[in-house]
Structure 1
Amino acid sequence: MSRIGKKPVTLVKGTSASISGQTIEVKGPKGTRSFTAGDDVTLTVEGDTVKVTPRGMSKRARQQWGMTRSMVDNLVVGVSTGFKKEMEIQGVGYRAAMAGNVLKLSLGYSHEVNFEVPAGVTVTSPKNTEIIVEGIDQQLVGQVAANIREWRAPEPYKGKGIRYKGEFVFRKEGKKK
């Protein structure tokens, strides 16, 4: 039995779900998201809960059971509260600023990095050393944050770079004489 799969997904107040075939569509205050489940599971809406049950007990059906339940739960969380990644910039002269739909990053290169923000994600920079990525799609929010971090990942000697808020960067000792 899947520990995750057997728990029903509770629909938060203000959200609704509809199923057509293997596709579930969840509507909420932040938007609408849908997910198409595999043929190994069955989706049912009962009142304010969504249940996922496997079709048979094959290994693939049991794998898809927990994964599908997690995907449906992420849909509900996304359309009700949304997802958020907070990042901080450390380093002398390193800064970020929003200009329309473009995130302008000064990261010690000879040029300024212009990061085009994709649709479905909101990027804000409340301070010049903070970046906040928000959206209703967890995968897209994480991917955009990873793409921003990729421009200057934190280095282990001085700790300079873009890091997730609360991330621990293992520091190394420099050269000795």
Structure 2
Amino acid sequence: MSRGILLYGPPASGKDTVTAALCELSDAYCAFTRLKIGSGGTHGYRMGSADQLAELEARGEVIYRNDRYGNIYLVDRPGLVQATQEGRIPILHLGQIAGLEAVVEKFAASWTSVLLWCSRESTEIRSKGRGDSDTEARLTAWDATAEDIKASPDFAWDLQLDTEAMSPAEAAQEIDLLTRRAI
């Protein structure tokens, strides 16, 4: 069975840096690049069109859709199939528990769900420090993530990590150990 990692957390909680650290641990890990329909930054995304979105939706191949920052972000079945080929372990970044649930429900794999957490103040400092032009929108997303967690108290995390208390390398080692135990 395919394996995968679901990283959940507010903006600037360390999803990118922990993913990079996981990829340094093993060539099996790969960042899943969501399909993005819209404008703005393209780094870390597969850019798509409205026509492509319509085709994926018509074929039932949209696993999860998130509309944020004036764009549409997708977890799509063809992208996940490709990401899990040859024993690779995709790492998906999601900011909504509904996204985690959709992926687990609609794509058969052994998923490791990880909550990466940082305070709202850290999100603001990290966002400004990396030069984000939309820090206020990211703080709004932080608030939404906190509410999402409160609204889903029964969600069973495989691992919860405070990224203010540990380095990305330490977080990656904990995730790697748990993921390898799931084999």
TM bin, normalised by shorter chain, reads under 0.3
Higher strand share: 1
- TM-score, structure 2 normalization: 0.22
Higher helix share: 2
Larger Rg: 1
- Which structure would you say has the larger RCO, counting Cα contacts within 8 Å and 6 or more residues apart? 2
